[in-house]
Amino acid sequence: MTSSEAMKTEPQASQHAERLSKIISSSPADLDRDTGLMLFRDMTLGRRFEDKCAEMYYRGKMFGFVHLYNGQEAISSGVIGAMRKKHDWFCSTYRDHVHALSAGVPAREVMSELFGKETGCSKGRGGSMHLFSKEHHLLGGYAFIGEGIPVALGAAFTSRYKRDAIGDIESDSVTAAFFGDGTCNNGQFFECMNMAQLWKLPILFVVENNKWAIGMAHDRATSEPEIWRKAASFGMAGEEVDGMNVMSVRGAALRAIERARAGEGPTLIECLTYRFRGHSLADPDELRSEEEKSFWAKRDPLNKLKEDLTDKNLATIDELRTIEKEIDEEIIDAVEFALDAPEPDPSELTRYIWAED
């Protein structure tokens, strides 16, 4: 199929607008100053970090496959920001940099990993698509779609098993599994949904529906484009939210987390979002129409949160600019740290393959 042919069959902006206007479950969380500034800082860190990754990649400082998260920050910040860091668990995809940052992995460690350095969160062995941090309960990024969902299910099972079988009444950790719309026709998705609901496991299935699975438009790839409705097949709670509004995402996450901790089982949350860049930094992004990209650019989640904070007099423009400058300094520091960090020692080539005592 040629680019022009693909564009004729892709979903248009009017269709996106219609679906957003019909979102059923969209009750947002309350916005206060502390929460708003926390979310703004986290989203800004994610956006500026990814922009710096693009710069380093095109300058030849970063290698391999690199998939950026620009435009989807409201989902990472909205979900992970509602959870308990170093208590709950998170499982990502190959678009994992921002999930790692939201989970608390230091920018220095994430950037070092992208440079393949020993100081990286995966010791330089994983790279962009395989970020991992036991300390921050990040269960990994995964190169193949659907790989992380069974891993997340295992973490949720562990939480429930510790409480019900071992008697640890304090075991109430919740797991969030992130994945894209392209994953939702895969077997792992359905099998894990079934098991999670059968055993009432404390897990959030978070669909980052950015409308495109590489170059395949979502509506052309599935018989039921509204993914959240698939929860009903398992008797599971499901929500559809505006993934470009961090408070809407946070509201859905808080409701799902409350159900999970109460032993009421999993939730499928479909977040309608859009990636502002191509599938990867090697993607010329020629398949998506300018009309579609323009529609979503106007819904930038960072701009939305900034407007909400200032319109409600919860923060001033100067305060937000100060946060942005602090984030820029943090990212510059991360790059300098990564550039100066040592390469993995060749003598340790086979280390981290097997479990160590």
Reading the block at residue 201, the tokens are 């496991």
Closest CA to 352 of 126, 97, 78: 126
**φ, ψ of residue 272 in degrees (nearest 5):** -80, 115
| Domain regions of the chain by residue span | 36-218+234-338
Count of CB atoms situated within 10 Å of the CB of 121: 24
Task: Report yes or no: 357 and 134 within 8 Å, Cβ to Cβ.
Answer: no
* Of the options 3.40.50.970, 2.60.120.330, 3.90.470.20, 3.30.70.20, the CATH number for the domain spanning 36-218+234-338: 3.40.50.970
Task: Report yes or no: 156 and 203 within 8 Å, Cβ to Cβ.
Answer: yes
pLDDT in tens, 133-163: 999 999 999 999 999 999 999 999 999 999 9
pLDDT in tens, 20-76: 877 755 689 999 999 999 999 999 999 999 999 999 999 998 989 999 999 999 999
pLDDT in tens, 286-335: 999 999 999 999 999 999 999 999 999 999 999 999 999 999 999 999 99
**Residue 42, SS3 per DSSP:** helix
Q: Report the phi/psi class of residue 241: left, alpha or beta, with left for phi > 0 and alpha for psi in -120 to 50.
A: beta
**φ, ψ of residue 42 in degrees (nearest 5):** -65, -45
